[in-house]
């Protein structure tokens, strides 16, 4: 939501957030408390909602969060410069680093208390009734959103639905069924009041379809859980299908080509259900000065984390010597090498069909053009390799091949060819520093090559509604044919590859179309990778479907030996446990207890 209000540190902190991890927030805004009367003003309602949206910048697209919720799955493994390596491998260090998750926990409970204040006192605000109703609906959605994130991350959590004005040293975890009920109630209320389409000029805050999307996903999660109700999968399917059936009313549709969903400028487009806004504004965007290295913890650096160290490839690679064939630039990005694709799964399973499915090429950058020496001038001379002199902006300097190339291909190629490291016979294999790069979050508009991205971070996409419906149908909320029909919408979209002839497109559609007999849980999980790779969904998907252990052991060599079922929950931050000094001790999740 594009509100130029910085409120995340202004609101009263409850027990759950009075801790060392909140020090930065307290320093940002010295007001330790706020009178509930503030929420009875138009400024209080608008500022409260804006503050919650603003706080999300501190998570999605940030460095540690991105690694915590993408690592340790079948999709991704450690890059050569990974930070929280214990989270990728499920090593015992996870037990002593539970406060890795404290910022997420603390921030969400601040947001919940803010939403409680808006909902408890906001109805008394003297303002336009229609606008007030919309702000209250936003608060309902946002409270549900926060509890959904907490529940799916930690399991049963404290449930607080009133504004807290007193610090307490007692707290407890509510039964998971009660938390689900609260989320569903808020989302139903929000969906009933939010507009069919976002209000003009506000980016893309929650609207009716956003609330219905999260409602469908909540039903799906509950259906898999110990709190399941018999109608959950049916409710998930019907809710998702209602969004699809009414997509025109909600201004939603799939882009004709998969990659269009992540083109710069399309972030608020037809396929987006929710974004986390960013801006170049240094005050309201909480950003670093351009050219200073992107040091603010709330900046969107998703354009950095998945980038390989392409500027270190010299002309004689893998031998030493010679000029670098590429130099770091804005277009190719800053190579932080935090996370790399687990190519044994990505290439061999999820994206095995690359001939008729555009999503591999739409997801990964696999070639880097020569840009060394006078890089700004196309056609100038670049580095000289043993096979010839590269031409800047014309010749491919680095090719991350998806197969073993022939000796003749290698001899005829002036640049450096890498091959999948899991394939026998790889002459120049991928490494932990050099691999295909996730391209969804690239940002070519930055002023300096080391700058953060000010692109809105796409959080929810319409394409996932089809995946939710398919999974719900598989689990009994519909038929297998209905599941196949939902998946085929995405698969046929993926068959569109730029430059195809009509005959090629028809052949691709035929190859992509599946039948009911093809639908299994593993197939749907693979389809989720093809559609959603790199969008901070994967650990959650494997946790929800109880497949984390099986799939990590099958595909992820660096984590297979350590992963256990208890890793389907993340640890309660030790800060939270230590703060509960009255009444029963606050319990840690199993496995993480010392």
Q: In Å, how far from its chain's centre is CA 382?
A: 37
Select from 594, 593, 591 the least CA-distant residue to 90.
Answer: 591
Tokens of 238: 């019907």
Supply 78's token pair: 């450690």
pLDDT for residue 296: 59
pLDDT at 59 over 70: yes
Beta strand extents in 8-144 (DSSP E only): 76-78
pLDDT tens per residue across span 299-344: 888 999 999 999 999 999 999 989 999 999 988 999 999 999 999 9
Distance of CA 468 to the CA centre of its chain: 16
pLDDT in tens, 398-431: 999 999 999 999 999 999 999 999 999 999 999 9
* 137 confidence band (pLDDT: 50, 70, 90): very high
Quick check: 22 pLDDT over 60? no
Residue that has been written with the tokens 């980038």 in this structure: 307
All residues at 6 or more sequence positions from 250 whose CB lies less than 8 Å from its CB, including other chains: 196, 197, 207, 208, 209, 243
Do 384 and 390 contact (CB within 8 A), yes or no?
A: yes
Say if residues 388 and 409 touch (Cβ distance below 8 Å). no
Using CA of residue 294, residue 299, residue 303, residue 309, what is the dihedral sign?
Answer: positive
Task: Select from 198, 71, 171 the least CA-distant residue to 534.
Answer: 71
Q: Which residues of 70-93 are buried (b: 16+ CB within 10 A; e: fewer)?
A: bbbbbbbbbbbebbbebbbbbeee
Per residue in 63-106, pLDDT (tens digit) is: 899 999 999 999 999 999 999 999 999 999 999 999 999 999 99
pLDDT reading at 136 higher than 80: yes
Cβ atoms of residues 65 and 105 within 8 Å: no
Q: Which residue has the higher pLDDT, 374 or 495?
A: 495
Residue 530 pLDDT exceeds 70: yes
| pLDDT value of position 207 | 96
DSSP 8-state symbol, 474: I
**Average pLDDT estimate for 485-510:** 97
Can you tell me the distance from the alpha carbon of 123 to that of 109, in angstroms, rounded to the nearest whole number? 22
Residue 454 pLDDT > 90? no
Q: Domains of the chain by range and CATH?
A: 1-178+185-194+548-594 (1.25.40.390), 204-277+457-532 (1.25.40.10), 303-455 (no CATH)
CA-CA-CA-CA torsion for 205, 208, 213, 218, nearest 10 degrees? 100
Task: Grade residue 451 by pLDDT with cuts at 50, 70 and 90.
Answer: confident
- Given a cut of 60, whether residue 117 has pLDDT beyond it is yes
* CA distances to 151, 386, 447, 476 from 225, in Å: 11, 59, 47, 15
What angle do helix axes 208-224 and 129-154 make, rounded to 10 degrees? 30
Rama region for 203: left / alpha / beta (φ>0; ψ in -120 to 50; rest):
left
pLDDT at 19 over 70: no
Contact present, 556 and 88 (Cβ < 8 Å): no
Does pLDDT of 24 surpass 50?
Answer: no
| pLDDT tens string 97-113 | 999 999 999 999 999 99
Backbone angles phi, psi at 274, to 5 degrees: -160, 140
Residue 501 neighbours by CB under 8 Å, 6+ apart: none
pLDDT category of residue 33 using cuts at 50, 70 and 90: low
Q: Is 438 exposed, middle or buried (0-12, 13-18, 19+ CB in 10 A)?
A: buried
As given in the structure block, the two tokens for residue 125 are: 């605000």
Could you tell me how many residues make up the chain?
Answer: 594
**Radius of gyration over every alpha carbon of the chain, rounded to an integer in angstroms:** 24
Report pLDDT for 96: 93
Structure-model confidence comparison of residues 166 and 508, the more confident one: 508
DSSP 327-388: ---TTT------EEE-HHHIIIIIT---SS-THHHHHEE-EEE---SSTTSTTSEEEEETTE
Question: What's the confidence (pLDDT) of residue 23?
Answer: 28
Give the span between the Cα atoms of 199 and 463, in whole angstroms: 22
For the segment 516-533, the average pLDDT, to the nearest whole number, is 98
Q: Is the pLDDT of residue 18 over 70?
A: no
Number of other residues whose CB lies within 10 A of the CB of residue 578: 11
In the numeric block, the tokens 């808006």 are attached to: 118
Using CA atoms, how far apart are residues 27 and 448, in angstroms rounded to an integer?
29
Pairing mode of beta strands 396-400, 416-418? parallel
Cβ contacts of 484 within 8 Å, gap of 6 or more: 470, 514, 515, 516, 518, 519
**pLDDT above 70 (res 174):** yes
Q: How many CB atoms lie within 10 A of CB 562?
A: 16
Averaged confidence pLDDT in the chain: 90
Q: Is 458 helix (H, G, I), strand (E, B) or coil?
A: strand
Which pLDDT value is given to residue 281? Answer: 56
Q: What integer pLDDT is reported at residue 12 of this predicted model?
A: 31
Q: What average pLDDT does the segment 240-259 reach?
A: 98
């Amino acid at each position: 939501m594009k509100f130029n209000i910085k409120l995340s540190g202004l609101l009263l902190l409850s027990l759950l957030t009075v801790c060392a991890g909140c020090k930065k927030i307290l320093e940002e805004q010295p007001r330790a408390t706020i009178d509930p009367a503030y929420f009875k003003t138009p400024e209080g309602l608008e500022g409260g909602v804006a503050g919650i949206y603003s706080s999300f910048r501190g998570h999605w697209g940030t460095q540690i969060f991105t690694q915590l919720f993408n690592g340790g799955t079948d999709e991704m493994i450690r890059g050569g410069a990974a930070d929280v390596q214990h989270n990728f491998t499920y090593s015992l260090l996870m037990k002593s680093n539970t406060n890795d998750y404290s910022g997420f926990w603390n921030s969400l409970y601040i947001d919940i208390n803010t939403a409680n204040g808006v909902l408890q006192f906001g109805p008394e605000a003297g303002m336009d009734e229609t606008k007030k109703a919309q702000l209250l609906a936003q608060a309902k959605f946002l409270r549900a959103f926060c509890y959904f994130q907490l529940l799916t991350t930690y399991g049963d959590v404290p449930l607080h639905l009133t504004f807290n004005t007193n610090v307490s040293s007692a707290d407890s975890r509510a039964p998971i069924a009660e938390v689900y009920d609260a989320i569903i109630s808020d989302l139903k209320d929000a969906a009933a009041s939010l507009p069919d389409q976002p209000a003009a000029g506000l980016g893309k805050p929650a609207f009716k379809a956003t609330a219905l999307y999260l409602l469908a996903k909540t039903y799906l999660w509950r259906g898999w859980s110990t709190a399941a109700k018999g109608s959950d999968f049916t409710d998930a399917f019907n809710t998702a299908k209602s969004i699809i059936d009414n997509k025109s009313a909600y201004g939603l549709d799939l882009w004709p080509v998969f990659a269009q969903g992540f083109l710069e400028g399309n972030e608020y487009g037809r396929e987006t259900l929710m974004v986390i806004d960013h801006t170049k504004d240094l005050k309201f965007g909480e950003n670093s000065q351009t050219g200073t290295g992107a040091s603010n913890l709330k900046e969107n650096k998703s354009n950095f984390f998945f980038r390989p160290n392409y500027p270190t490839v010299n002309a004689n690679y893998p031998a030493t010597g010679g000029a670098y064939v590429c130099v770091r630039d804005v277009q190719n990005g800053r190579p932080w090498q935090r996370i790399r694709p687990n190519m044994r799964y990505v290439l061999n399973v999820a994206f095995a069909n690359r001939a008729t499915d555009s999503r591999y090429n739409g997801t990964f950058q696999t070639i880097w053009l020569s840009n060394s020496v006078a890089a700004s001038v196309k056609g100038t001379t670049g580095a000289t390799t043993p096979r010839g002199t590269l031409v800047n902006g014309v010749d491919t300097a680095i090719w991350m091949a998806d197969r073993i190339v022939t000796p003749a291909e290698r001899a005829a190629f002036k640049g450096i060819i890498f091959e999948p490291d899991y394939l026998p016979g790889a002459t120049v294999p991928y490494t932990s520093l050099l691999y295909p790069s996730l391209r969804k979050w690239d940002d070519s508009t930055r002023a300096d090559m080391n700058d953060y991205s000010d692109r809105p971070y796409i959080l929810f996409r319409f394409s996932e509604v089809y995946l939710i419906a398919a999974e719900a149908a598989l689990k009994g909320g519909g038929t297998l044919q209905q599941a196949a029909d939902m998946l085929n919408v995405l698969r046929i979209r993926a068959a569109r590859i730029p430059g195809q002839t009509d005959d090629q497109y028809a052949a691709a559609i035929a190859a992509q179309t599946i039948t009911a007999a093809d639908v299994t849980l593993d197939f749907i999980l693979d389809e989720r990778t093809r559609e959603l790779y790199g969008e901070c969904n994967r650990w959650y998907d494997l946790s929800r479907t109880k497949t984390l252990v099986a799939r990590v052991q099958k595909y992820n060599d660096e984590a297979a030996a350590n992963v256990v079922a208890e890793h389907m929950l993340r640890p309660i931050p030790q800060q939270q446990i230590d703060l509960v000094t009255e009444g029963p001790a606050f319990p840690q999740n199993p496995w993480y207890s010392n």
